[in-house]
Structure 1
Amino acid sequence: MSTALACAPAPIAAQPALRQPIVIESGSLTLTSGETVQYEIGTLSVPENRNKPLSRRIGIGFARIKAPRPTGAPPIFWLPGGPGLTVLGAFTEKDGAAQARLRSWMSFGAAGDLVVIEQRGYTRRGEMLVETADASPLDKPASAQDDALAMQALARRAVAHHADKDLSGYTIDAFAADVDDLRKALGYSRISLFGGSFGSQWALAVMRFHPEIVERAVLSSVEPLNNGFDMPSHVFAALQRIAYDADRDPGLAPYLPKGGMMAAIRALHRRFAAEPTRVTIRDAQGRTHIVTLGAQDLQRALLAHTADAAEWPAFILSLYHRHYEQWARETVADRSAGAVTLIGPLVDSSLAMSDDHAHLLWTDPAVELLGTWNFEANLASAPEWPTPDMGDAVRLPRVTAIPVVFVHGDWDTSTPVENTLGLMPYFPNAHAIRVHRAGHDGAFYQLRESAAAKRAIYDFLRTGETAGLPTDVALPAPRFEVPGFPPGTVR
């Protein structure tokens, strides 16, 4: 479903911010539902490196949708995830996703003004820092060690290709300071924060460096400052929870081995630990590819399709029954050359992790099944990236009185629910909502089956009241997809 524009929205351009501290333009558009969105869109000019007085200026895009009537509550600053997610295209794009995002943003008017800020180094009204990663060969299995070498080479190439920029300035404290600068520029004394995934990590940084400006926060799919790289066992526990429902699904039953999904995973692990396999496929252009898939390819594949958990069991069971074609096609795409958003490794390398977290990562028992893909390349390439290590004083949690509502799904394989559980002791005024069967999604999407919980979130953003918030919400079990071949068909 497309979005009908009542009038041309304000243009998205980068250059005005380089001449003035802030530029704001007004716009209006009408959704196909008939709702009119009145908004402001603008560019904030900030130093690229906040530690250097003569640093060049860069632009950061933002937008504001004012509440239809005053609520007396602080504005809500909506922080996108990623890193490397640009969202201001919602005002110009005409697809259903843009319309849904705008409707979601308008709903915040029940609590207060909404301010959306994009990320330094990846914003439509500034610069989008990217580098092209080299393709990986198809004739040998992938390995995390080769991936680490490739990331080191990419880091050196990125620094050389962006010699006119100061990449050392893309640290999490700079992201936090950008929020504070926009707050001041828009004339707000205090703000509330709303973010998921990297947006939650960004919000935690704002609370760390500028606690005096934060009234309250709603964070989902939480990524603590010391958990840019999550424990494999926590990720595997999310897979086990998905597998529990999959093992009880009637449609999948004919495909399951004795012992269910976890038995299928162990069998695949043994199979590919013994030897790799070669798969021949044809792409959409009719070209033939021979793909070699090994034990470490399987480690990566175990997490494929978990963004939509309803697809994951069918994918794994297809591999169990030796139907490798879909996996091989996805591997061809994964090993192709492609663009890498630089602010991700720049921020991750700067945050790094504490020594004890690193020890737990390397010695985690689930590394055998999931490998070191989640962290090895970043750790190996960290010395090549110019952002400085911010130290344990920044990344380790500390007690804060700021009221926070955490919303976290227990099927989240990107930022496991254990992340929130580990933070709770440091937030005495926090409230956690565990959403059973929810994945890596925003708060309101996770709570889509509970209108009361969503209303309570808006009430919390407006008043700070937590009385109506649940502690547990359960989504219904999904209708799992089944493999695209009859049961008993083994290749």
Structure 2
Amino acid sequence: MTHAILNRRSMLSAAGLALPGMALLSGTARAQNQAQAQAQVEAGPFRFTSGDGQETDAERGFFEVPEDRRIPGSRRIRLGYVRFPSTSPNPGPPIVYLAGGPGGSGVRTAMGPRFPIFMALRAVADVIAFDQRGTGLSSHIPDRPTSTPFPALTRAGMTAWYREEMQKAWVDWTRAGVAMTGYNTEQNADDIEDLRRHLGAEKISLWGISYGTHLALSVLRRHPGSIDRVALASLEGQDQTVKRPAHIDMFLDRVDRLMGTDPAVRAAIPNMPALMRRVHERLEADPATVTMPGENGPVDVRMGGFGVQLMASALVANPPQLSMLPRIYLALDAGKTDVLASLFPPPHRYFSITGMPEAMDLASGISPERLALIEKEAKTSVLGDAFNMPMPHLLGAIPGVDLGAAFRAPMRIETPALLVAGSLDGRTPLEEQAEVIAQFRNKAQVRVENAGHNVFEAHPEVQTLLTRFFQGQAASDVDLTLPPPRFALE
């Protein structure tokens, strides 16, 4: 989870995706600001406009839930969604979209590249773009400026910054009346059950990606009788908030073999993981000063190997950004650290804490056994523990919020499932997803060769398979193929 935000963490402006471990920065921080104004948006019909200007009839809806159901008299918060009415004369159970992150907005997702899928699924049922608690139309955590000075982009500097700033923010939000303990995946899952009741549906189906699958698993554990079918991509298991560094190394080895099929790339880079290690070690021993655009003019930032590992952890999510790695690392190996300036947003954007993502990750936590394994693997892996920033770096910063072993325990899932994965997904690698897939007993798998984390929109056939699955048609395993990425040397 602590991962791509893809819709999950701080945004790399040039790469257009999330830098792991930095709370949903540029795009998401702005979304949180906008959400405060959206809180007063009225329910009812309206014209929904996608990012590319397409329009359709839709309806905003709201319902209220306790912010923390475990606290008697907890304040009630309003959760929002957009409903796209079904075009079918006999619609099936509503299909609820669960965004990734944590921290992604279902409504904002519907505006983007998945808009055609939202529209296609209306042939089956109403499609609900749901904003989970703490996001978009459902945001009730107030904005607050950071107060801790920005650190160097080293492991020690960033770990200390995140822990101090998170503790300060937690106190501020609690004093403001926010029940921060309610921002966890079990409460989030119970919101989905309340949404089902609000919709007046006997059952609903779930369609989710990344953290949305982590949430879906909790819904299946807590409310299995309420779910008709699930279509999930880029799976993240109950004890996979923190990814195993060894699995990331396996992914990078696959990428290196793919690079080896291009003679020019192989001649320039005999071994990509070795090049990456060399760059990281050099900058960790002797951090560089990189001048980046700031809020009030240029800002000099100390960049260690850990900062470069963070950058790479974002770029591995999807092939268009993955293809940039050779060019970037060749430049860094030649001492051209200015290449990094265009890959990071201004510091005031990537050092940001918005509350919901961090609280969700802290609550989902990590089992002691997995933590010990990850700490051991991180010592020798290419990306170390930067890939998972800010977890487990934040562990223990806020005591008493971990949901415990029962939350993270595997289970047996009988609900019909369509499970979609991309072979070049570096955020939730195939080795991680295999642990989750083993829990499903009634499943069909779709593997898209050369697709990344954002696999739903990567291949046009996926939309057709999703529609057929939610229509109740029998599904079988399918292999789809996309052209491999072309790796850039310049």
| TM-score range relative to shorter protein | 0.7 to 0.9
Aligned twin of 1:14: 39
What secondary structure does 2:122 align onto? helix
Q: CA deviation at 1:320?
A: 2.4
The one of 43, 53, 58 aligned to 1:39: 58
Evaluate the alpha carbon distance shift between residue 378 and residue 32 of structure 1 in structure 2; reply closer, same or farther with a 3 A threshold.
Answer: closer
Q: Deviations over 1:183-231 (max 9, x none)?
A: 1111101111000011111111111111110111011111111100100
Contact 1:144 1:376 in 2 (8 A): no
In structure 2, distance between residues paired with 1:58 and 1:32: 28
> In the alignment, is residue 457 of structure 1 matched against residue 466 of structure 2?
yes
Which of 440, 443, 446 aligns to 2:458? It is 446
Percent pairwise identity: 25
Alignment of 1:381-460 (within 5 A): 381-385=394-398, 388-441=401-454, 443-448=455-460, 451=461, 453-460=462-469
Counterpart of 1:217 in structure 2 is 230
Aligned to 2:330: 317
Q: Which amino acid aligns with 1:118?
A: D
Task: Give 1:143's aligned residue.
Answer: 154
After superposition, what is the alpha-carbon deviation per residue over 1:288-343, rounded to whole angstroms, capped at 9, x for unaligned?
A: 65554333334334434224222222222222233211225546835867432211
> Which of 449, 461, 485 is equivalent to 1:478?
485
Inter-partner Cα distance in structure 2 for 1:325 and 1:212: 55
Tell me how far 1:407 sits from its aligned partner. Answer: 0.9
Correspondence for 1:296: 306
Partner of 2:371: 358
Cα distance change, pair 400–99 in 1 and its aligned pair in 2 (3 A) = closer
The alignment partner of 1:55 has SS state of coil
Residue 70 in 1 paired to residue 89 in 2? yes
Aligned partners of 2:106 and 2:78: how far apart in 1? 15
Assess if the C-alpha contact under 8 Å between 2:159 and 2:393 holds in 1. Answer: yes
1:447, distance to aligned residue in structure 2 (A): 2.9
Per-residue deviation, residues 463-483 of structure 1 (Å, max 9, x unmatched): 05214x40x222211233332
Q: Distance in 1 between matches of 2:120 and 2:57?
A: 13
User: 1:363/1:168 Cα in 2 relative to 1: closer, same or farther (>3 Å)?
Assistant: same
Which deviates the most, 242-251 or 105-114?
242-251
For structure 1, which segment, 69-78 or 293-302, has the greater mean C-alpha deviation from structure 2 after superposition?
Answer: 293-302
How far is the alpha carbon of 1:56 from its aligned partner? 0.7
Identify the residue that residue 260 of structure 1 maps to in structure 2.
271
| Partner residue in 2 for 1:176 | 189
Superposed displacement of residue 168, structure 1: 0.8
The 1:188/1:359 distance shift into structure 2, 3 A limit, reads same
Structure 1 pair 130–262 and aligned structure 2 pair: CA distance change class (3 A): same
3-state DSSP class of the match of 2:133? coil
Q: Deviations over 1:107-149 (max 9, x none)?
A: 11122210111111122254245544444345xxx33233222
Equivalent residue of 1:384, what SS?
coil
CA distance 1:304–1:118, shift in 2 (3 Å)? closer
Corresponding position: 1:154 with 2:165: yes
RMSD: 3.0
Question: Residue 136 of structure 1 aligns to which amino acid in structure 2?
Answer: F
State whether residues 245 and 377 of structure 2, in contact with CA within 8 Å, keep that contact through their aligned partners in structure 1: yes
1:6 equivalent in structure 2:
none
Q: 2:244 is matched by which residue type in structure 1?
A: M
Asked if 2 retains the 8 angstrom alpha-carbon contact of 1:78 and 1:195, the reply is: yes
User: 1:78 Cα shift?
Assistant: 0.5
CA deviations over 1:34-74 (Å, ceiling 9, x no partner): 97512111222111111123111111110111111234521
Do the aligned partners of 2:294 and 2:348 also contact (CA within 8 Å) in 1? no
**In the alignment, is the contact (CA less than 8 A) between 1:346 and 1:386 conserved in 2?**
no
Q: Does 1:238 align with 2:245?
A: no
Q: 2:76 aligned with 1:57, yes or no?
A: yes
Does the aligned pair in 1 maintain the 2:98–2:208 contact within 8 Å?
Answer: yes
Contact 1:238 1:416 (C-alpha < 8 Å) held by counterparts: yes
| Structure 1 residue identity aligned to 2:197 | K
CA distance in 1 between counterparts of 2:251 and 2:203 reads: 37
C-alpha displacement at 1:433, in angstroms?
A: 2.2
1:392–1:301 CA distance, 2 compared to 1 (3 A): same
The alpha-carbon distance between structure 1 residues 323 and 252, as it changes in their structure 2 partners (threshold 3 A), is farther
Query: Residues 353-391 of structure 1, C-alpha deviation per residue, up to 9 Å, x if partnerless?
Result: 112111111111664432222457433533333662211
Does 45-54 or 63-72 show the bigger shift? 63-72
Aligned residue for 2:475?
Answer: 466
- Mapped contact 1:200–1:219 kept (Cα < 8 A): yes
Q: Deviations over 1:78-129 (max 9, x none)?
A: 01111112243578xxxxxx36443331111122210111111122254245
Distance 2:436 2:292 in 1: 48
In the alignment, the residues of structure 2 paired with residue 433 and residue 381 of structure 1 have an alpha-carbon distance, to the nearest angstrom, of 35
Q: Residue 322 of structure 2: SS of its match in structure 1?
A: coil
Rg larger for:
1
2:215 equivalent in structure 1: 202
> Which of 254, 262, 265 is matched with 1:249 structurally?
262
Displacement after TM superposition at 1:150 (Å) = 1.7
Once the two structures are overlaid, the 10-residue window that deviates more, 286-295 or 144-153, is 286-295
Deviation per residue, 1:379-418 (Å, 9 max, x gap): 3533333662211111111111111111112222222222
Name 1:488's counterpart in structure 2.
Answer: none
Which residue of structure 1 aligns with residue 286 of structure 2?
Answer: 276
SS state at 1:463 partner: coil
- Contact 2:313/2:387 (8 A) holds in 1: no
| Inter-partner Cα distance in structure 2 for 1:375 and 1:218 | 25
The CA distance in 2 between the partners of 1:435 and 1:381, in whole Å, is 34
Whole-Å Cα distance in 2 between the matches of residues 389 and 244 of structure 1?
Answer: 39
**1:70·1:112 contact (CA, 8 Å) conserved in 2?**
no
Change (3 A) 1:281 1:186: closer
Question: Distance in 2 between the 1:295 and 1:101 partners?
Answer: 35
